[in-house]
Structure 1
Amino acid sequence: MTSPLNTLPALEKTLQEVEILLAEAEGFDEDRKKLVVLNKAAFLLLVGKFEAYIENLVEEFVFAINSLELRAAHVPERLLAEHSVQIVKNVKDHLNNGKLEKVNSMFIDLSRYWAEIEPCNSLNISNKFSYGKHGEKELIKMFKRCGIESIFDEIVLYDPQEKYDSNEDSVLDIKGIFNSITNMRNNILHQDETPTLTVGNVKYYKNILVQLAECLEELLQKIISNADSKRQKEGMFDYVI
């Protein structure tokens, strides 16, 4: 059985830097300018840390899938397709440079994956957000590469500020909140705006992003566990090398 992803401890550790800034901000109640700067800095750091975490999570997911050495039928089809597209993109450069043997080798390697002649143990997809792009569309795109069609259809989060008994009133519009966070980030960085941010606001957004991170890890772990279960149920596959 493959080991769990277990990426959350690293996120919690790196978010301690955000807590340091917030602790500083709480000591500047009388200095409005310093308070605003510290809250903005803590907010931007929070968003940056979350995005870095997502990129690391996807990288760890692909590593875990490769470690299982699955047959193509057990790999999320979108993941294998994304890997194939990445390979094909590189083919053009090799072709233009006259490296026909390399081109031939790349296509043969791909065909051996799809035909289940070899295990899928070197899959590679982009774990980076598109340069200069942020928001829910980019997050959806990132996890679609992993085999999840639309993450926001899979996730239910509850307001961390409310005491609830699983009632509908406490369910968060996580897509809307994520876009709001992204818009504030963009306005601070690109429009030099100063949104109304308190220490409480930043802590609230931090709690929500941590909840979101937990759900995303759980979704990817479910894919890994299901694939591993199928692999074990069918037994070892005798690949033709």
Structure 2
Amino acid sequence: MKRLKTERDSEPDDSLEKSMAQVASALSDPSRVSILCALMDGRAWTATELSAVADIAASTTSGHLSRLLSNGLIICLTQGRHRYYSLAGHHIAGLLENLMGISMHTFKSPVPRTPAYLRYARTCYDHLAGELAVNIYEFMLQDKWLEADGTALTPDGKSHFQNLGAVLNSRPRRKSCCPCLDWSERRFHLGGDAGSALMTLFLQKEWVARTPGYREVNVTDRGRTALRRLFSLD
């Protein structure tokens, strides 16, 4: 599988202001936003699958994908005759999560319109988000798994991760641990390499199950028992 180059790869001299405006413009179309939100599940999708999600014609989808590619928001991977699209990285997922939070902001008390099943548990690229993830993060802070600002695991936290079997990358290419603002809960959940390691563990142990094609995550009976024991969750 090889990655296709984007226009951004070959145009390093664009000014910061121009680049920011181009990215903002790429995000200004509802169909392109639908495509990006679908890719928030962390997996690679075909153009046909994305056209169905965005409810647009295949020819229109091609143009939207080209626009997103040229602005570095997604990448295209080729495998044989097939092409798969995914977000360009966790930083793009973070951008989208923050944009969702800003878009829902109101000066009145917000009334959540996000479906209950998504508010409870969903994927945020490669880590867990929603009410469940926020509660786990709060437990980790209170139980001193995390430093007070959430930017690093404490020695006890690293020990807990090791005992759980959550494998941390010794040389992560991104932040090893960070608070990620949850757009539906308006509080933080665990992001970075630690958040990814925890999500991987939950999937491997079948404590949670992903819904194919969606960001929704379901907690299994085994998972409810384990999460209650480990994180004092009701």
Q: Identify the TM-score tier after normalising by the shorter chain.
A: under 0.3
- Give TM-score scaled by structure 1 length: 0.23
- Give TM-score scaled by structure 2 length: 0.24
Compare the two structures and name the one with the higher helix fraction.
1
